[in-house]
């Protein structure tokens, strides 16, 4: 079964979003976060190629590596799309197809498209986040076995052609927190485009799970084609959780 590789157990995505908070439990991460943020970014269109790579070293010396690449887009209205091409094994006799995620905050829906079946699943988007209380995040529990988190500002530099600000977050889980003989250190370095408000590079390391890195390349700030943000004609649209006007089986 084909499974979306989400870095927010994962997105990525995500998300996350993945630009904030310590790198936790299996690297919750999905790079650019299309569909991850509840607050859309408008007036900052872009197109890019997102590459997510993971590597895990097993106790017997064996190594598991995985790489996934997607074309990602956002228009001036804040709608986002991610397109990933799946190439089945030659023995399956199946042709390559695409899995596409469209997040449309204007209409209030998310779509998951499969070109091999010409189907799209439509689900309502959650409401935008609103601040509650004083706005101060709750304090982490204290105690000898609680993790400690430090954050370092890495300043500003050009990453893959765009200006980005960097942050390094280190979480240290003390020895004995859950039977671990030694302390465990989890590190995530994130570079976020100051203009596009998206992560353009993320590097995460957790000795329990290995490393996972995300990078956006071929970044263009032009307006993407509007057809990228709508379900193509001929697709059968079915309702995900919550339903939608038109009912299951509606055909566009």
What pLDDT is recorded for position 239? 92
Residues comprising the chain, all counted: 252
d(CA 38, CA 108): 11
Q: What is the mean pLDDT of the chain?
A: 81
Say if CB 36 and CB 16 are below 8 A apart. Answer: yes
CATH architecture of 46-126+145-251: Clam (2.50)
3-state class (DSSP) for residue 20: coil
What pLDDT is recorded for position 38? 61
Our measurement of the distance from residue 19's CA atom to the centroid of its chain's CA atoms, rounded to an integer in Å, reads: 10
DSSP 181-238: SS-EEEEEEEEEETTT-SEEEEEEEETTTEEEEEEEEEEE-SPPPGGGGSPPTTPEEE
Q: Residue ranges of the domains in the chain?
A: 46-126+145-251
- Per-residue pLDDT at 87 exceeds 80: yes
132-146 per-position pLDDT tens digit:
554 455 556 556 678
Task: Categorize the per-residue pLDDT at 252 as very low, low, confident or very high, splitting at 50, 70 and 90.
Answer: low
Task: Categorize the per-residue pLDDT at 180 as very low, low, confident or very high, splitting at 50, 70 and 90.
Answer: confident
d(CA 163, CA 48): 15
Place of tokens 């960097």: 166
- Per-residue pLDDT at 201 exceeds 90: yes
Name the nearest CA neighbour of 32 among 67, 60, 7.
7
3-state secondary structure 44-112: CCEEEEEEEEEEEECCCCCEEEEEEEEEEEECCCCCEEEEEEECCCHHHCCCCEEEEEEEECCCCEEEE
Which tokens hold the place of 123? 């689900």
- Per-residue pLDDT at 93 exceeds 70: yes
């Amino acid at each position: 079964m084909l499974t979306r590789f989400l870095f927010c157990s994962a997105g990525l995505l995500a998300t996350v979003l993945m630009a904030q908070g310590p790198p936790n439990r299996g690297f919750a991460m999905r790079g650019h976060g299309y569909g991850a943020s509840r607050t859309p970014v408008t007036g900052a269109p872009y197109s890019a190629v997102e590459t997510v790579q993971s590597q895990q070293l097993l106790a017997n010396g064996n190594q598991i590596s995985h790489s996934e690449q997607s074309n990602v887009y956002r228009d001036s209205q804040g709608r986002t799309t991610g397109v990933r091409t799946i190439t089945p094994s030659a023995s399956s006799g199946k042709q390559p197809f695409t899995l596409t995620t469209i997040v449309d905050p204007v209409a209030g829906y998310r779509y998951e498209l499969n070109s091999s079946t010409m189907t799209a699943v439509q689900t309502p988007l959650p409401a935008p986040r609103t601040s509650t209380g004083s706005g101060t995040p709750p304090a982490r529990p204290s105690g000898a076995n609680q993790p400690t988190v430090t954050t370092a500002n890495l300043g500003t530099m050009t990453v893959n052609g765009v200006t980005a600000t960097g942050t390094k977050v280190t979480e240290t889980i003390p020895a004995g927190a859950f039977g671990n003989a030694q302390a465990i250190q989890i590190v995530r370095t994130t570079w976020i485009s100051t203009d596009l408000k998206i992560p353009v590079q993320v590097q995460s390391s957790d000795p329990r799970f290995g490393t996972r890195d995300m990078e956006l390349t071929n970044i263009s700030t032009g307006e993407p084609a509007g057809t990228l943000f709508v379900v193509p004609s001929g697709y059968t649209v079915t309702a995900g959780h919550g339903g939608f006007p038109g009912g299951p089986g509606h055909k566009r």
